[in-house]
Amino acid sequence: MLDPFLGIGTTLIAARDLGRNAVGFDLNQEYIDFIKKRLTQLAIDYENTKQVAICDDAINIPKYLTEETISLCVTSPPLC
């Protein structure tokens, strides 16, 4: 799973609950720190999956991931 606008990281939590790998990007380091802490506080540990939060602009995703490595991208439009 890929979440290009991670925010508080609900996508990474859901991916972990489903036993899926996931990566999320956000520009705000506070959100990245929040989700990393949140992931460590979960009672269930899925050893075979990995959830990664990266502080960077989503435009730079190709610098981190190679083509055809993502099977699902989750996003929502920004509120106006």
Strand partners, 24: 3, 53
* Whole-number pLDDT of residue 64: 93
End-to-end distance of the chain based on CA atoms, in angstroms?
26
Q: Where are the domains of the chain?
A: 2-64
Residues of the chain with pLDDT under 70: 42-46, 77-80
* Whole-number pLDDT of residue 43: 64
Q: What is the 3-state secondary structure (H, E, C) of 1-21?
A: CEECCCCCCHHHHHHHHCCCC
Altogether, the residues listed in the chain come to a count of 80
